Structure 1
């Protein structure tokens, strides 16, 4: 009887999701065998069951159907019904769903017909994401996402398992159809926001997760790992997460127990005092994750074997393995109690769930990867810290369990070339927090330029985690590469940590507003065909647009090319300050040191000022704000009370917001408004380095707390950046900088062409001829005509064209 009662004991409350699965009866139209629910003017639930048995419980994908009832009209013709919203017009013959009996017309926000869906149609899908990039050497097929150029998508939830109130999952009844019709036209962001309402929001990441992660599949000893962290600090390379791959546990096991992939016992030869090792990592400000492959259960050689075997009613003397069975509530409780919680007490912050062992469980249709992600994520927050897990994608709804591990890629240019598109398109599945093996994982070849470009992309990807295989020749320490690559990698890793104030604000936008950090261009320019033709170009937050370089430099020009499309307006290179006029496609050329990252006029980008080196990811006392001239701008910097341990700051009252505004006129002004909300989350005083990019040198007035004050100013002609440094000021005080007679700077066309030619590996006489033609031409158009007559090699001519035409408007 005791065992039966224990088996029936419910799961702990922290392993249950909060759900609202029942829709309002007023939103439902039900008849013989069918039920249609109008969730929003663009979102319908379409159910059919021959016996009229419909499902109101939550599923693996769908948690909430309790939407406000939208306005709609129902017209019942007896043998046919119509449902009409301001965006959709459904016609249904009340029979089993068929192509001829069920259709939906979709209109856009202006009332124009976008398309007609007939049951069974598959629209042109824009792609979602994939479970893993394991062994990928270039592009792989993607699962469908939620967006299509046809204006509608159908999500089939018929085979998704049910989430019971007690936190467990059960199979659905066979024979039922459960479809969700998304008819959003090209309002991709609205589609995504309603998907999050349906499936649950993207959670907030802990602040430390947005810094750099060090990871390598390598049998480090504790002393070796700590010495490496010390070297990183000496080199002033910041990290916030220490990833310990599978060699933390015993891997050389007696063959009678099987392989060493699964393990829960510290390898004391490498880690004689695990708790001290973890404590020393924490002292350095690092959070720790351990790799685990749970498929083989718990074997008799493991330290926790006796306790978990006894808990599950086994006879430990027999030495039988405790089988991994995530579907058994009793095993699940013991799994956490004996295998994970003791290691967390020693200092493990979260888990890397490395599951590759198939999709079979005792519950038909249940994917063990999904269940591991689900329960591990929920369990990780039980002590009050912000939940976090690290695992592979397991289908729609997986965005609830960040961070995603994209798998073991091959180290080639082809792998790198696929990852920007792969990352951006994942937003179409609501999956915004991919972590790639930056630099590639295995096989392939050594190419210093490739690894450097991968790290530069990593800065402008959701999570930057360096990783590589156990090969003694394959690792990502910057000093293992040539001096140019080493310097560029170090600068990239430092920039990533400086970006954390910006990234953390975007973290909030992703969770609260349904706006992923990385978004395809067509989200914001859906009617522009060019936005669909640049798959590797994407928005990075609200202020930036990234164009990662994924091909080698041309040997003669020492420049790499990226074919981009710039939307209407003025754009500035984030690094050089070069101004571009948008509304066109063009090729961007960059040397080894940078990639094209563009900020629109009026953009405001807050960074941590790491003039004095620190690897801390906490709310900084010194802020640098890059302000891009040429248009009005507004940015709200969100910070909260999350402490170094990742304690929860999810309640609205724990947040603090600092608004910054740019007014661009003859006398431009930039204002840092007083912080509001939970001021205790911020340092009481802050210093400010305000960098105005793209502005001509001008006079400056500074006001703090309403009174004019002095500030240091400097102007960098090479990047057209005016820097105003303001000493520590109370965060509750306003700061205003006035730029008298503000004008846009003129691009350094002549200087940039000289720099290009000076680096180019071409004949000296040709350099002189090109430079002479450019200097003697009255206009850029005249210079281009003269250069075209020279029949130059395309990379050189293209790079010259970019400079000459960048800011013609």
Structure 2
């Protein structure tokens, strides 16, 4: 749905220029020598009919000024030039850097890139809509257009069409303006939020089903099965070309495709098939005859049907004949593995854009393909391409994933573990899975090499156990992820969205916000050999923070180094955070709405959370620190979707000294309590979804203090250093002396940096 024609009241126009004030911080600037301006939807801008913001127009001395509450545009009414067209951002962002001039490339904070194919570390990023200087620009001049009947055109030549974002440091508002013009992110299906299994491997139907059986026995949940190109015939007669493109099941491997897909569905997984469509449809394909007839060709001639995404008849047959037949057999959605560049038969029309747009429109809820430019957020999920197996690749991905939010792109799916080349490194593979657990989509994948595999049981004990734990955790996180999904915001956001004025928020590329409740600091470098700990630089905003995976407590308002062994990474929440989880320790494959929910509640401040499980099913969750009480309100619009009654477990990390009470609709109710060393969990059974559940732990509960002595001892006990050094460090770190004295004494021991910073983290986590 598009509404591309702006309100005339928002337009300031001359013979060859047009200025559209879309919002108080976003203007569209057009210049055309023929005086003809574009009102069709583009790949980026599909909705220009927005409420007209307040603005003023001034003309004097040959200059035109357009002024809103956020910007002042100055224009000499001639051809756009650096001296004749400028825009000053209000708000005192800087003395002079916050003035954009036409032709100037903004120093924005970056957006994303088309692909990470063959990337071994960082690559350049395209533009985003936020910057520290306060302005950013999207150049829509070269985008192709959508016609009223839903087709496309690339006839917008010799025109300038710019969108200037002037939101200062109001990054959230800039992103909202982007979505207002370019459309919101769709809500992806719930199943897309679980684990995806993918491998470029010549499976048979039996071997694939055996693999799913092994996953089930190992307690490893997967919600999506991705079949790479060997599902179709690849060994073809050379007269037809290569077997890279294909639409015909390989019946030597899959004798009965519908029966196979039915069994996979019976295991609780959806299925996507890989397609490389560039070579079109050749005569050996099962669907060739129907495709030829649909396009008015003689099937007996055997002439290849070229892939031409600009041919409307071909594209119709592509969906209605070629893909619909396979979908009727059980294919749930498509992996569009377009690797053939941005050019088509018509200059300006990118085949990847066309595939993404029309596949998503045809499917209605999900496709899987590379990024094609601003506006691509409307077609999730993104396939980031074939990265190199290396620490450099992993180190780039947290930054790359979060920064994509600056262009509204929230659903990157990476080849977790890397795709090709590299060396075997079990620590690297484990850290990648941990990041994958806290990324938009967790999809294990690798190239066609018998030694490149991602099954956890093929790794040694420690790595195997950790991978298994995080794959299970991913499915437990689905209630939280799906609630975020319904908000339509990027799941991963850079830290500077939280505090644009804090320099420290820009200096932690491995850290990001993960939904509204969590901060994640991915560990993307090898562990120190002597301490066995990985390390990451993090910035904690003001407040008290709890690592919900370890129950360690930190005082915020500072930058620090966080250290973790291979079993975990820092995942932090502040007071008032409420994180809903599936209550099963080992969830099933299909991440359905659970009958048992666990809520992680961080004490210390008030908090609210809307648990949206489907549309319009919502449950309001509320925690009030003064009362120490968690309230689960009656579910809204739950009939036929939620179970009649549920089990609720409420867990309080870093809270142990409590005396719980529980009521259902004001009546005391029995509960189970589990008191761990670092947290308390209360479980109430069979709570009607129409009832109000209250669980209290006493007024103004206080988080426990970290066990400094125990943490220091554990660290030193594991460290590969001299025993007498261990003793000396323990005595110094835990002495009954002021912290400043202990820190200076430790400094005098001249410890290795890795050990010194790890000890420092423990001692400085909380104020004394």
TM-score of the pair, normalised by structure 1: 0.93
* Residues in 1 aligned to 2:93 and 2:467: alpha-carbon distance in whole angstroms: 48
Match of 2:403 in 1: 425
How big is the shift at 1:788? 1.2
Match of 1:625 in 2: 599
Q: What are the Cα deviations for residues 623-667 of structure 1, in whole angstroms up to 9, with x where unaligned?
A: 011011111111111111xxxxxxxxxxxxx411111111113x4
Match of 2:691 in 1: 733
Q: Give secondary structure in 2 for the equivalent of 1:123.
A: coil
How big is the shift at 1:123? 2.3
Evaluate the alpha carbon distance shift between residue 110 and residue 469 of structure 1 in structure 2; reply closer, same or farther with a 3 A threshold: closer
How big is the shift at 1:611? 3.3
How big is the shift at 1:245? 0.3
Q: What are the Cα deviations for residues 217-272 of structure 1, in whole angstroms up to 9, with x where unaligned?
A: 00100000000000000001000000000000000001000000000110000000
Match of 2:646 in 1: 686
CA contact (8 A) 2:11 2:21 kept: yes
How big is the shift at 1:561? 0.8
Tell me, yes or no, if structure 1 residue 289 matches structure 2 residue 263: no
CA contact (8 A) 1:107 1:114 kept: no
Tell me, yes or no, if structure 1 residue 455 matches structure 2 residue 455: no
Q: What are the Cα deviations for residues 89-137 of structure 1, in whole angstroms up to 9, with x where unaligned?
A: 1111111111111111111399998721121122212111111111111
Match of 1:164 in 2: 147
Evaluate the alpha carbon distance shift between residue 424 and residue 612 of structure 1 in structure 2; reply closer, same or farther with a 3 A threshold: closer
Pairing partner for 1:210 from 193, 196, 199: 193
Tell me, yes or no, if structure 1 residue 803 matches structure 2 residue 758: no
Q: Which runs of 5+ in 2 are unaligned?
A: none
Q: What are the Cα deviations for residues 588-636 of structure 1, in whole angstroms up to 9, with x where unaligned?
A: 0000100111111211100001136422311110001101111111111
* Residues in 1 aligned to 2:96 and 2:685: alpha-carbon distance in whole angstroms: 57
Q: Which runs of 5+ in 1 are unaligned?
A: 1-17, 382-386, 641-653
* Residues in 2 aligned to 1:338 and 1:57: alpha-carbon distance in whole angstroms: 30
Q: Give secondary structure in 2 for the equivalent of 1:26.
A: helix
CA contact (8 A) 2:121 2:394 kept: yes
Pairing partner for 1:747 from 706, 715, 727: 706
Structure 1 residue runs of 4 or more that deviate by more than 6 Å after TM superposition: 109-114
Tell me, yes or no, if structure 1 residue 572 matches structure 2 residue 546: yes
* Residues in 2 aligned to 1:472 and 1:61: alpha-carbon distance in whole angstroms: 42
Q: What are the Cα deviations for residues 483-536 of structure 1, in whole angstroms up to 9, with x where unaligned?
A: 0000000000000000000000110112xxxx2110000111100001111111
CA contact (8 A) 2:635 2:689 kept: yes
* Residues in 2 aligned to 1:782 and 1:578: alpha-carbon distance in whole angstroms: 24
Q: What are the Cα deviations for residues 181-213 of structure 1, in whole angstroms up to 9, with x where unaligned?
A: 110001111111111110111111000000000
Q: Give secondary structure in 2 for the equivalent of 1:655.
A: coil
Q: What are the Cα deviations for residues 369-426 of structure 1, in whole angstroms up to 9, with x where unaligned?
A: 1101111111112xxxxx1000001001000110000001111111111111110111
Tell me, yes or no, if structure 1 residue 705 matches structure 2 residue 683: no
Q: Give secondary structure in 2 for the equivalent of 1:624.
A: strand
Q: Give secondary structure in 1 for the equivalent of 2:640.
A: helix
Pairing partner for 1:501 from 474, 479, 484: 479
Match of 2:608 in 1: 634
CA contact (8 A) 1:424 1:538 kept: yes
CA contact (8 A) 2:674 2:681 kept: yes
Q: 5 Å matches for 1:50-65? A: 50-65=33-48
Tell me, yes or no, if structure 1 residue 404 matches structure 2 residue 382: yes
CA contact (8 A) 2:196 2:443 kept: yes
Tell me, yes or no, if structure 1 residue 195 matches structure 2 residue 178: yes
* Residues in 1 aligned to 2:590 and 2:338: alpha-carbon distance in whole angstroms: 31
CA contact (8 A) 1:674 1:731 kept: yes
Q: 5 Å matches for 1:332-343? A: 332-343=315-326
Evaluate the alpha carbon distance shift between residue 405 and residue 110 of structure 1 in structure 2; reply closer, same or farther with a 3 A threshold: closer
CA contact (8 A) 1:697 1:715 kept: no
Q: What are the Cα deviations for residues 761-808 of structure 1, in whole angstroms up to 9, with x where unaligned?
A: 112222122222233232333322221111111111111000011011
Tell me which moved more, 286-295 or 71-80: 71-80
* Residues in 1 aligned to 2:278 and 2:674: alpha-carbon distance in whole angstroms: 60
How big is the shift at 1:159? 1.0
CA contact (8 A) 1:655 1:681 kept: no
Match of 2:55 in 1: 72
* Residues in 1 aligned to 2:691 and 2:156: alpha-carbon distance in whole angstroms: 61
Tell me which moved more, 562-571 or 669-678: 669-678
Q: Give secondary structure in 1 for the equivalent of 2:358.
A: helix
Match of 1:596 in 2: 570
Match of 2:750 in 1: 791
Pairing partner for 2:114 from 126, 131, 146: 131
> How many residues in Structure 1 have an aligned counterpart in Structure 2?
767
Match of 2:357 in 1: 374
* Residues in 2 aligned to 1:310 and 1:713: alpha-carbon distance in whole angstroms: 68
* Residues in 2 aligned to 1:781 and 1:349: alpha-carbon distance in whole angstroms: 61
